[in-house]
Amino acid sequence: MKIYGNKPPEGKEAISPTKKIDRSDAYGGGTGMSNVERVSTSAKVNLSQRAKDFEEIRGRIDQLPEQRTDKIKILKESIENGTYSIDSKAIAAKMLQEMI
């Protein structure tokens, strides 16, 4: 292939000739169904063991009761009222305890 700059040489066309495609043959022989639509409905999906474990854990988490809603409500109210205080010594003690 030769490159002639911005213009093709005299007697040459800038666009290559095209040919018409019969789409009825390309998409299922005129049935209106593409190759993707003709996939068997009996296809199976195999999940990895990791995906199966994840789904099992997700199911267990979804079954857990929501027990902290009352505590969250109390904390939200105290923050909105301006009465929420942080005990920095308790936080530091907990951090040290977790490090040991």
Q: Residue 95: left if φ>0, alpha if ψ -120 to 50, beta else—which one?
A: alpha
Query: What is the distance between the alpha carbons of residues 62 and 41, in angstroms, rounded to a whole number?
Result: 31
User: Scanning the structure block, which residue is given the tokens 């169904």?
Assistant: 33
Instruction: Give per-residue pLDDT as tens, 20-48.
Output: 666 655 455 555 555 555 555 666 777 78
Instruction: Give per-residue pLDDT as tens, 45-54.
Output: 777 888 889 9
Query: What is the distance between the alpha carbons of residues 75 and 91, in angstroms, rounded to a whole number?
Result: 16
State yes or no: pLDDT of 55 exceeds 80: yes
Query: What is the distance between the alpha carbons of residues 21 and 23, in angstroms, rounded to a whole number?
Result: 6
